[in-house]
Structure 1
Amino acid sequence: MRERLKFMKPLEPMQVETPPVGDDWLHEIKYDGFRTQLILDWAGARTFTRTGIDWSKRYWPVIDAAEKLPAKAFILDGEMIAPDPDGTPNFHAMHSRMAWNAEQLAYVAFDILHLEGQDLRALPLIERKARLWDLVRPAEGIIQYSDHVEGNGAAFFEAVEKMGLEGMVSKRRESPYRGGKLDFWVKTKCWEIGDFELLGIKREPGKPVAAIMARDGRYAGTAAVTLPKGVRERLWQRVAQGKTARPQRQVPTAVAGAAVDWVKPGIKARVKFLRGEHKLRHASMQAFLEDD
């Protein structure tokens, strides 16, 4: 039997604080879903997670659509999303749609690694995207094309922020495709500020003091305590007054087993955090307030 096409290690963007400038960069929306590699060969289509796990059964409508594209063999890189009616990705709907309404998923393709027996990874990105467009156009319905703009990274990021999206990915237009984390793809994420319930304060030698947070009754992660000195001292006093023996919400074993000063309900924390993350990441505590 002929050998089937194999999963290829994906290229992972590096995270940066601000989008790159210059006309040699392409900018795309960062879609909030599951990174997915879509492969078609002589025996049919398959989908793989970013770590190479076969999820074809979960994404069967995308499999059907891939087998109708005008090619006999390809490897696409993209994101599986659960779009709202306006097209905005809704990560929280992903699991229910995979289980019950997979036809309401969409696959957004942003790169092509192989086509009709030819390895395309050495080609410049801008050429790969042209071949990808030729394959998936008109790019509507369940298999879509990730549009891009060239240059004007700051303006693109401003638009992404206003739209309430997770962030953006910038890619060097002449770059090849290689597996691993490389700096010719970079991601810039948007920030949010929100209020959380303070569960406790975690102190570990050699590490920043961390506030353990909950939101909507569930553990949400940790945030570095970056308060001014006077505010921080008032927080320590409030924590000392409100100590309790155990957390007021269920938290992961690794957190519960650490040296933590747990507190009774009543302290809220204002936190700056990266948008689109499903637990707090790169988060910092900006202020705290107490329930009336």
Structure 2
Amino acid sequence: MALETCQAKRNFKLAPKSKDGKAVAAKRPAAKARSPAPRERDWPKGARKGAMPDFIEPALAKLKPKPPAGDRWIHEIKFDGYRLQVRVENGKIRMLTRSGLDWTEKFGREVLEAFAALPVQSAAIDGEIVVERDTGASNFSALQHDLSEGRNDRFVFYAFDLLHFDGYNLVDVALIDRKQLLESLLPDDNDKLRYSAHFNESGGLVLDHACRLSLEGMISKLRDSKYRSGRKGDWIKSKCSHRQEFVIGGYVPSTSMKNAIGSLAVGYYQGGELKYVGRVGTGYTAATAQMLYEKLSRLTQNENSFDDKLTSEERRGLIYVKPQLVGEVEFRAWSADGNLRHAAFRGLREDKPAKDVTREMEKTTAPLLPKSAVTLTHPDRIYWPDEGVTKEGLANYYAQVWRFMAPYVVNRPLALLRLPDGINGRQRFFQKHAWKGMNPHIEEITDPKDKQGEKLLRITDFDGIVALVQSAVLEIHPWGASTDNWEKPDMITMDLDPDDEVAWADVIAAAYELKERLEAEGLAAFVKTSGGKGLHVVTPLTPKAGWAEVKGFAKWLADSMSADRPDRYLATATKAKRTGRIFIDYLRNGRGNTAVAPYSARARPGAAVSMPLEWSELTIEVGPAYFTVDNAPTRLDALPRDPWDGFFAAAKPLEKKKR
């Protein structure tokens, strides 16, 4: 199975856009279901004629640490949205939650119209409504945002089961036959209503690829099973990350915004008691933080909401609330004392009663993460408002990727992009030198060639990168040499910067061409997304050649590609000549020049990161900003090894040649 198969089978498409690039929602009349004439068909075994029941309690999946094996199972992508049962009956469309609540009016007319256009008299369809990011992956936080804003142009319904069809009850029909009927019923070209395809390959293989794409996980189903309500074991869910619902028992007000929450205290029910599992301090957009404050401030109470006796640290600043609201939370692991580690809020679950929330038991292990002695002040300060990534969230991200990232940022001169008020703030500083009040874990170091000038900056350990986060550093740009050997670069970075008109497939082709040329020179080539528009092809070097020689080689590479394909490539930074071409930027290889570090966040909407890839992962489905602060740790956990494993071991000296 190719890496892109999971996405390709989901048939990802974006919402329609206006001329200015913004998504739009058409205003149309209310939906009415069509009533075609009854058709004769060969109904599958188990189909029974009868009226459609009022509500069919949904089949639910049991959580297992590993997917089931064997050809008795089929596997589907696990979506990140709201489970709904859609009923087409007597010319009307109804959308019911998993508890039977009528949510028909929540999702706008376009999805309803898609169901109304189906050639059926009556049907009950099981599926999930989602909102997809530009990457193509469904995202619960984005769904919550659209619901709160009254936006309905991005809703997409993925149908995965058919329970009733034109007067026949199908719950006793084998799953694979129900899906075949469902697929024949659904249109191939509707952006709002899509069939959830399944995979017959090994469950472990499907889950591996889903996790590499930072999806939520997958659902495995017995192919010949009947539709059985509740958790009966016919459906198994396997997750790429720890994620479940928790009851909100209190909140701490924001230290950086008025009338907003800064963190939530959450728990789950066990034997009728609400057990405290810790605080969730990131994942809130500005709007979500204010919405939660408004809802929770109406539920405040004096007594402890949890049945545990909280420590003074756990009680600090906490305002208790009646335990009525349920939030979905993604987290790194369970700690030894039963608390959440590195937790992020994903949205309110209005479709699930608080009393139904229990701990989902799963036996998993996670690598030990570094801890820092640096104190984060105002940890709830939001750096990426639309994505809800806070100062604490960025620090959590770096804790999870540090074991991969450290060799590329430690003991190197750094250029830093600081945005104290986040990406939408006015303050924006690109700094190579110290600033007032700089944390002592960020070191000053003298440039040997400029001993009288201002000192440069570096970090030497994990405390250093947390100090950068505390200082609102949202991008990290290191030199291509270490401070152990200032004048001998140990890497070359070639930045492929495409014009907006260039197709992503052409950028990938350019990266492969660079790889071939580097390998022809006896050098290794590694690739990473830029987190912006393009790709970086990076070559490790044995540090023997000087800056002038390394930059000269990089220029020769760019010039030769441009000379061979002037219609496709450009080796100069002239924007007027870049239309339809890729600028091969070699200038990052001079002394004092920098390139964004592997795994560094980018100070742009989306909270993308510069992500190292294996060459086999470089596909059209994984664009330059696909991986983010939120989803990158899930991908890395799914990998059997570092995607740049052996980077420095592959270093070769740059041979002197006449070029």
RMSD (CA atoms): 3.7
Alignment-derived partner of residue 194 in structure 2:
144
Change (3 A) 1:14 1:28: same
Matched, 1:130 2:130: no
Please list the CA deviations of residues 108-165 of structure 1 after superposition, one character each: whole Å capped at 9, or x if unmatched: 0000000000011111111000000011131631011101111410100100110101
User: How far has the Cα of 1:97 moved from its partner?
Assistant: 2.1
User: How far has the Cα of 1:211 moved from its partner?
Assistant: 5.5
* Contact 1:28-1:146 at 8 Å conserved across structures: yes
1: distance between equivalents of 2:76 and 2:156? 17
User: How far has the Cα of 1:86 moved from its partner?
Assistant: 3.2
Question: 72, 80, 88: which is aligned to 1:40?
Answer: 88
Please list the CA deviations of residues 171-225 of structure 1 after superposition, one character each: whole Å capped at 9, or x if unmatched: 01000101111111110111269xxx9999x9xxx99x9762332397xxxxxxx
Question: 209, 226, 231: which is aligned to 1:176?
Answer: 226
Question: 63, 69, 80: which is aligned to 2:112?
Answer: 63
Amino acid at match of 2:118: L
Give identity over the alignment, percent. 28
TM-score (norm 1): 0.73
* Contact 1:24-1:151 at 8 Å conserved across structures: no
The number of residues matched between the two structures is: 247
Change (3 A) 1:94 1:130: same
Matched, 1:89 2:145: no
User: How far has the Cα of 1:105 moved from its partner?
Assistant: 0.4
Matched, 1:190 2:240: yes
SS at structure 2 position matched to 1:79: strand
User: How far has the Cα of 1:81 moved from its partner?
Assistant: 0.5
2: distance between equivalents of 1:35 and 1:63? 16
User: How far has the Cα of 1:85 moved from its partner?
Assistant: 2.5
Matched, 1:113 2:174: no
SS at structure 2 position matched to 1:103: coil
Amino acid at match of 1:32: D
1: distance between equivalents of 2:307 and 2:156? 40
Change (3 A) 1:198 1:22: same
Choose 1 or 2 for highest CA Rg: 2
1: distance between equivalents of 2:302 and 2:210? 33
Question: 50, 55, 59: which is aligned to 1:11?
Answer: 59
Matched, 1:290 2:340: no
Amino acid at match of 2:96: F
Unaligned runs of 5+ in 2: 1-50, 244-261, 285-299, 317-330, 335-339, 348-358, 376-659
Change (3 A) 1:210 1:134: same
Please list the CA deviations of residues 245-292 of structure 1 after superposition, one character each: whole Å capped at 9, or x if unmatched: xxxxx9997556741113289xxxx94269998489669995654325
* Contact 1:169-1:188 at 8 Å conserved across structures: yes
Alignment-derived partner of residue 236 in structure 1:
none
Alignment-derived partner of residue 213 in structure 1:
279
* Contact 1:37-1:78 at 8 Å conserved across structures: yes
Change (3 A) 1:78 1:142: same
Amino acid at match of 2:99: T
SS at structure 2 position matched to 1:126: helix
Matched, 1:54 2:102: yes
Alignment-derived partner of residue 239 in structure 1:
none
* Contact 2:217-2:240 at 8 Å conserved across structures: yes
Amino acid at match of 2:373: E
Alignment-derived partner of residue 223 in structure 1:
none
Change (3 A) 1:77 1:199: closer
Higher relative contact order (CA 8 A, sep 6+): 1
Where does structure 1 differ by over 6 angstroms across 4 or more consecutive aligned residues?
197-200, 250-253, 273-277
SS at structure 2 position matched to 1:122: coil
